[in-house]
Amino acid sequence: MASRKLLLLPGDGIGPEAMAEVRKIIAYFNADLGLDFELDEGLVGGSAYDAHGKAISEEDMGKALAADAVLFGAVGGPKWDSVAYDVRPEAGLLRLRKDMALFANLRPAICYPALAASSSLKPEVVEGLDILIVRELTGGVYFGEPKEIIDLGNSQKRGIDTQIYDTFEIERIAGVAFELARARGNKVTSMEKRNVMKSGVLWNEVVTATHKARYSDVQLDHMLADAGGMQLVRWPKQFDVIVTDNLFGDMLSDVAAMLTGSLGMLPSASLGAPDAKTGARKALYEPVHGSAPDISGKGIANPIAMIASLAMCLRYSFNLIAEADRLEAAISGVLDDGLRTADIWSQGSTKIGTTEMGDAILGKFKALSA
Ligand code: NAD
Ligand code: IPM
Ligand code: MN
């Protein structure tokens, strides 16, 4: 690969603060490791709305489609609470996912050993936790039509969202989950609500059929999504890979985040299908958290979710496995050293800000590279 084209979309709130730490790490990759990342930047979310009146410009959308990978910060915030629905900050992220056809969202929840005490759950419940939520990302109620508010008269309105899943959408996300499970604990738990939703009935049928046809060597369990949420906080180590739809995946991954200590710890990868000729796949990497308006501008946001998203990018888009492993080891090492941003701070550890955390991880990465 001659050069590696990366588009950075920092976004709003703590997005740019976390992205600044990633930029430092990439600068080191280029200057000292000769990794040859070609960086470009664009606007997304509220910052794009302020500049162009929409949540992502056509030009930046074009750059995203042309890049080898996109690194995304976070979007949204109270400043844009009343802007029109179609141009609200979150619409920029949804457009990226849809137009780049990023149907597979991988959200690993790993409890780093040093953080077992930072979770709101008992340490023995989360110690050693390593689960992967595979969230379907381009279908379901996020995109189904009709999606509207209609006026019924007599001061009554009706809000409508539509949950739709077709066989091929369920089949391909199930395939991703089974493949990933084979490379780790070999177990998939599929979550839906077949007891009330027709799309849940189909989900269950298609996952079962996909398993039977191609993946019968992997253990498959089914769980109703509400019970799955309960099991995630009761005994999360029973899970290996969870596969679920767009909305349940959104909610369950925020729940899973707290098993790791903080929403500021969870990275994600959003992947498209491999190109038939080259095998390359479109990809966007982003933390699971949002723009955190309550802490933005204070220099206290945890950049680990963003930095761990860069590690996923190294692994999945560029096959830089050793570098990805080393970056994750650097994160773990800094936590072992007792350094913590405020969200994961606990008695006896040292509280540091966003920049210091980025510097500490880069310092550790350099030491591991020497
Ligand atoms: P949020 O994830 O922004 O924040 C939830 C809580 O977690 C807050 O208390 C916040 O301070 C804390 N938190 C989140 N990330 C943190 C980090 N890195 N370090 C320390 N603490 C962190 O969710 P919200 O408050 O419900 O949403 C705020 C805005 O973000 C909304 O506009 C929402 O739509 C948007 N949002 C965007 C994304 C995204 O861009 N991918 C994801 C979720 C929410
Ligand atoms: C996430 C976010 C997004 C989602 C929003 C910002 C559109 O919550 O990535 O988890 O709901 O998918
Ligand atoms: Mn979410």
Write the pLDDT tens digit of every residue in 100-122.
999 999 999 999 989 998 888 99
Find the ligand nearest to 251 CA.
3
Q: How far is the CA of 319 from the centre of ligand 2 (A)?
A: 27
Residue ranges for the known binding site for NAD(+) are 77-90, 290-302
- Alpha carbons 169 and 245: distance in angstroms, whole number: 10
Write the pLDDT tens digit of every residue in 23-45.
999 999 999 999 999 999 999 99
Write the pLDDT tens digit of every residue in 326-355.
999 999 999 999 999 999 998 899 999 999
Domains and CATH numbers, the chain: 1-103+272-370 (3.40.718.10), 109-261 (3.40.718.10)
Residue 172 pLDDT: 98
Identify whether 193 is a catalytic site residue. yes
- How confident is residue 2, by pLDDT bands cut at 50, 70 and 90? low
Residues 319/324/326/332 CA torsion (nearest 10 deg): -160
Q: How far is the CA of 87 from the centre of ligand 3 (A)?
A: 18
- How confident is residue 249, by pLDDT bands cut at 50, 70 and 90? very high
Ligand 2 pocket, residue 55 CB under 6 Å: no
Residue 137 has pLDDT above 90, yes or no: yes
User: What mean pLDDT, rounded, does the chain reach?
Assistant: 97
Residue 265 has pLDDT above 70, yes or no: yes
pTM of the model: 0.97
Among residues 254, 325, 336, 359, which one is catalytic? Answer: 254
Identify whether 254 is a catalytic site residue. yes
Identify whether 36 is a catalytic site residue. no
Residues 139/140/146/149 CA torsion (nearest 10 deg): -120
Of 264, 221, 267, 261, which Cα lies nearest the Cα of 244?
221
